[in-house]
Structure 1
Amino acid sequence: MTGTEAGAVARLLARLAVLAALGSVVVLVLAIGDGGLEVVAAALIGLIICAVGVWWFLAYRGGVRLLGAVVAVSALAGVLVLYAFDGLWLTALVLILCWSGALACARLALRRARPRPVPARVVGERPRRPVLIMNPKSGGGKVARFGLVEKAEALGAEVILLDPSAPADVAALARKAVADGADLLGVAGGDGTQALVAAVAADHDLPFVVISAGTRNHFAMDLGLDRTDPARCLDALTEGEETRVDLGEVAGRPFVNTVSFGVYADVVQRPEYRDDKTGTALELMPDLLSPERGRRLDARVDGTPLASQQAVLVSNNPYASPDELAAGRRPRLDDGVLGVLGLWVKDAAAAADLAVRGAQSTGLTVLTARRVEVTGEGGEIPVAVDGEALRMPTPVVCTTRPGALRVRLPRERPGVTVSGPSVDWRELLALAFGHSRRTGDGHPGD
């Protein structure tokens, strides 16, 4: 699709988004006499009460926690009951559909109006001596379940199978493989193992293959790889193409996804966390969230101070939107910057503000940077690097190595998606009825 065609499509989508948003307003105005404002007010009040209940559930124990659970569930149920008994459900449904359509069209329009350079992809030569490191315990035994060892060896790869009973230095194994003549490195395992071997590949400018045999496979997800069948990742050995992505570093240690400080890092330090994640988190949360007892972090983000945070998340490239963080998608891995989220929620009112305002809340800070320095109480602080629990001396410095890693990918990647950007309504209006300075540049939609 040419830049002119993409600009016309973006403008059309922007106008549809504006019309759908206006439709929401029209429905609300027409329904004022029939409870239109009641629909919005009930939803807003229900959301606030639910957020307060969730805060009580997380920040307290005993009877207050039970009350919080009851309040949160009752708030949601109360809104639904009100809509049903007052005959407001149809108005609520139309409003939801109009607003959802407006947001969907807005994100599509802005995505086409904000073209990004397509990462350079080259069809690399088939490796002559690929070496793959596989963790048989990762992902609940996916290596054996999908026959990855046999399939990789049939494609000419040398497989180093880790011994679960004898923890190994995977970086040392990777360096030895390079010294012995490996011209490609790969990992079937979790993201922490992926990062350690990826750093060796980056240091020697060798292609790296990601095999989605971990539990969550966030790195593989953002590369568009098939997470349901890790054997498909082996296609990169034969019919592969290469692209360069960034590699994060925290205190000299590589990471491919995230580095967490604060609440989450404190929770994963506990030995019982792996066997009982929910129970451990609920047991620790009241102390971690308490203004008096909880740990506080200070950060400097490219020179910008970020004081007294309960949690700081540093990601290897930013997420599409902090409102969609749970989806865990980063639209790009080659922007050459770190994503930074700082969180400070001191009480139920702040929790309600976060629930209503999302990324605009005063309790949430969203930044990008090339260097992040985190300090805390004491000489060292807990840190979770790609989900792995560590302790590091302060200050802990996070940086990025732009384009350091050559990733070899299968040509067919079913998980490739493009996340929509955050909606900027002023830019959207300019695009719909004026001229966007970004429209028509590059190759959007190709």
Structure 2
Amino acid sequence: MTMTSAAPWTARLALVAGATAVVILLLFAGARSVVLVAVGASGTAVALAGVWWTLVHRGPARVLAAVLAVAAPVAVLVLYALAGLLWVVLVSLALWTLAVASGRFALAFALAEGTGPRSRGERRVGPPERPFLIMNPRSGGGKAGRLGLPGKAEALGARVAVLDPDRPVDVAGLARRAVEEGADLLGVAGGDGTQALVAGVAAERGVPFVVIPAGTRNHFALDLGLDRDDPSACLDALTDGVELRVDLGFIGERVFVNNASFGAYAAVVQSPAYRDDKVRTTLELLPELLTHETGPDLVVRAGELVMDRPQAVLVSNNPYRTGDPAGLGRRSRLDSGVLGVLAVTVDSAAQAAGLLRGRNAPGLVSATAGDVVVDTQEPAVPVGVDGEPLTLRTPLHCHIAPGALRVRVPRHRPGVPADRPAMDWRGVRRLALTTVRTAAGHGPRRSH
């Protein structure tokens, strides 16, 4: 089945699954189906409110709130079971999940042609003559050493500097000296924080940059379409590579390849106890941060949009996908030329429950801008820059440099999957009708 035919057939599956879910509810629950839906929505809202109260209280109040967060969905299931309709709800929910997933895949199929890194102006390039790679042995639990990356890189003609964990090194300075000594390519095997430091030097000196995902998460590598499960495959960029132009985010003069975070999360990761006990430290600090008793009162300006006192703000190098439940996860593009902005403001249990509406929730703001200013009355605020905890002076100016970085990637790589757009039932219906009309001999229907 070709991509052209897959889209309408998947759309038809979405419509059939959605209709079947509704029919099963009406057939076996009748008028009670409305009550079932209302009870389920109410239970979910109460559970989210319980989570909010768990985060903003301590002691017995926190325990009671946690019990409520767990008890609410359990009570809903018990009510369904007592009514003899639990199987109806579960089957309908499964069918509805299938309908939404199929619908989104249908829309993605229809839009997928020409997406992915290979549509972003990549060009074939010859191998570098004097590549220089920096490898952080601590990243990813010692992944670089376990996989023998230094030896593999040297066998391909690269000069490799393995950082000494016991001796702090100016990584950016090391990269600058390498270029001054004739390096015509820079690369890093490490986490996103180290990647960002060296990427800034590569952009500054106009040399290409190679990403080797040897850290824990490596979101930058993920969004470049690289294979995070096989970092050594990324060394193919030295012998059989193509080059892409991608954007870089800046907070002041510091580069970030993924994002800069402000507010509650940034404050929590600043705590010395965070590395030893993340969960306990987070639960200990969140009550005052979420209720504005401690922490900075942020004011965020993204173009003409002004956000007052959000608890958490994320400014990203290119926006995260709109199809993700909370807007986090992956970026479909790294060359859109704009920053992504996500801000969360939740001041009550009702607003916490309102997050069920996803990106339409009143407490969640999503925007794009070329420049973002984060300000507060405090002289300095905690900031997480590509996962690195920092304290920076305010106001903080974030901007994006379009196409600032030349990235060298292997010609053969997994790539970035097509973005799955937000659900659009009208679009799904149009795709399904395309198949029907074609089968009837009327020709394909065009949508404008």
TM-score by length of 1: 0.90
Give secondary structure in 2 for the equivalent of 1:232.
Answer: helix
Give secondary structure in 2 for the equivalent of 1:271.
Answer: coil
What amino acid does structure 1 have at the position aligned with 2:93?
I
Partner of 1:253: 254
- Quick check: 1:35–1:88 contact (8 Å CA) kept in 2? no
Q: Cα deviation per residue 1:359-412 (whole Å; 9 max; x = unaligned)?
A: 111000011111111111212211110011112222211111112211111233
Q: Give the deviation of 1:37 after TM superposition.
A: 3.2
How has the CA–CA distance of structure 1 residues 24 and 295 changed in structure 2, closer, same or farther, with 3 Å as cutoff?
A: farther
How has the CA–CA distance of structure 1 residues 183 and 294 changed in structure 2, closer, same or farther, with 3 Å as cutoff?
A: closer
- Quick check: 1:320–1:329 contact (8 Å CA) kept in 2? yes
How has the CA–CA distance of structure 1 residues 272 and 293 changed in structure 2, closer, same or farther, with 3 Å as cutoff?
A: closer
- Quick check: 1:113–1:436 contact (8 Å CA) kept in 2? no
For 1:94, which of 88, 91, 94 is the aligned residue? 91
How has the CA–CA distance of structure 1 residues 83 and 412 changed in structure 2, closer, same or farther, with 3 Å as cutoff?
A: farther
| Count of residue pairs the alignment pairs up | 433
For 1:30, which of 27, 31, 35 is the aligned residue? 27
Distance in 2 of aligned mates of 1:20 and 1:368: 35
Partner of 1:373: 373
Structure 1, unmatched stretches of 5+, are 438-446
Q: Cα deviation per residue 1:268-289 (whole Å; 9 max; x = unaligned)?
A: 1112212221111111000101
For 1:40, which of 37, 40, 65 is the aligned residue? 37
- Quick check: 1:103–1:423 contact (8 Å CA) kept in 2? yes
How has the CA–CA distance of structure 1 residues 261 and 327 changed in structure 2, closer, same or farther, with 3 Å as cutoff?
A: closer
Distance in 2 of aligned mates of 1:339 and 1:175: 30
Partner of 1:275: 276
Partner of 2:55: 58
- Quick check: 1:242–1:408 contact (8 Å CA) kept in 2? yes
Q: Give the deviation of 1:65 after TM superposition.
A: 1.0
What amino acid does structure 1 have at the position aligned with 2:150?
V
Distance in 2 of aligned mates of 1:82 and 1:409: 55
Quick check: 1:109 aligned with 2:106? Answer: yes
Partner of 1:330: 331
Distance in 2 of aligned mates of 1:416 and 1:427: 23
Deviates more, 1:319-328 or 1:194-203: 319-328
Q: Cα deviation per residue 1:246-272 (whole Å; 9 max; x = unaligned)?
A: 111111210011110111111111122
Q: Give the deviation of 1:18 after TM superposition.
A: 3.6
Matches within 5 A, 1:132-147: 132-147=133-148
How has the CA–CA distance of structure 1 residues 326 and 342 changed in structure 2, closer, same or farther, with 3 Å as cutoff?
A: closer
Which structure exhibits the higher relative contact order, with contacts defined as CA atoms closer than 8 Å and separated by 6 or more residues?
1
- Quick check: 1:294–1:310 contact (8 Å CA) kept in 2? no
Partner of 2:222: 221
TM-score by length of 2: 0.90
Q: Cα deviation per residue 1:335-378 (whole Å; 9 max; x = unaligned)?
A: 11111111100011111111x21211100001111111111121
Distance in 1 of aligned mates of 2:343 and 2:39: 30
Provide the aligned C-alpha RMSD in A: 2.3
Matches within 5 A, 1:248-397: 248-321=249-322, 323-325=324-326, 328-354=329-355, 356-397=356-397
Deviates more, 1:80-89 or 1:166-175: 80-89
Distance in 2 of aligned mates of 1:413 and 1:8: 26
Distance in 2 of aligned mates of 1:224 and 1:88: 45
Q: Give the deviation of 1:244 after TM superposition.
A: 1.7
What amino acid does structure 2 have at the position aligned with 1:383?
V
Partner of 2:436: none
Distance in 2 of aligned mates of 1:61 and 1:110: 45
Deviates more, 1:252-261 or 1:231-240: 231-240
Matches within 5 A, 1:395-410: 395-410=395-410
- Quick check: 1:323–1:358 contact (8 Å CA) kept in 2? no
- Quick check: 1:53–1:68 contact (8 Å CA) kept in 2? yes
